[in-house]
Amino acid sequence: MKHGRNNDLPFAKKCSCGAITVMVLDGDGRERSMSMPEETYNEYFSEIPLESDQFGNCNYCVNKWGVDLCGCGSGDKVGECENNYDHCKSKVAAQELITEYILPSFKAIEE
Ligand SMILES: [Zn+2]
Ligand SMILES: [Zn+2]
């Protein structure tokens, strides 16, 4: 990934696997990434510009890391994972969908 500190956040980029990774700054100015299916992006983050180029791979397909994937790393959807780890039983996602935290700060950047 070529993107680093010098690039303007927030931005979103699609991966060849179909998942979209949203890169944002949180309220403390730290870079946060969230990987998600396209439907989730459309629902929560469509105002974050989607770049025209794509990632060849991403956390979603490589690390099974996403807002709708089980926190145990199985790659199964949250709540549908049949592993019996604490994350599976308590339906904890691999990545938190931080809409309430991120979107206000995104709006602040826009102003
Ligand atoms: Zn991917
Ligand atoms: Zn699991």
As a residue count, the chain comes to 111
pLDDT of residue 59: 96
Tell me the CA–centroid distance for residue 42 and ligand 2, in Å. 25
Closest ligand to 20 CA? 1
Tell me the CA–centroid distance for residue 45 and ligand 2, in Å. 25
Tell me the CA–centroid distance for residue 76 and ligand 2, in Å. 7
pLDDT of residue 28: 76
Tell me the CA–centroid distance for residue 53 and ligand 1, in Å. 13
Tell me the CA–centroid distance for residue 35 and ligand 1, in Å. 8
Contact yes or no for 68/37 (Cβ under 8 A): yes
Q: Domain segments of the chain: what residues?
A: 11-66+97-110
Q: Which residues pair with 11 in a beta bridge?
A: 23
Tell me the CA–centroid distance for residue 111 and ligand 1, in Å. 31
Alpha carbons 100 and 87: distance in angstroms, whole number: 22
Alpha carbons 1 and 102: distance in angstroms, whole number: 22
Tell me the CA–centroid distance for residue 75 and ligand 2, in Å. 8
Alpha carbons 91 and 66: distance in angstroms, whole number: 13
Alpha carbons 98 and 47: distance in angstroms, whole number: 15
pLDDT of residue 102: 63
pLDDT tens, residue order, the chain (111 aa)? 444 444 578 899 999 999 999 998 777 778 889 999 999 999 989 888 999 999 999 999 999 999 999 999 999 999 999 999 999 999 999 998 877 666 666 666 665
Closest ligand to 69 CA? 2
Contact yes or no for 33/22 (Cβ under 8 A): yes
Contact yes or no for 76/82 (Cβ under 8 A): yes
Is the pTM higher than 0.85? The answer reads no
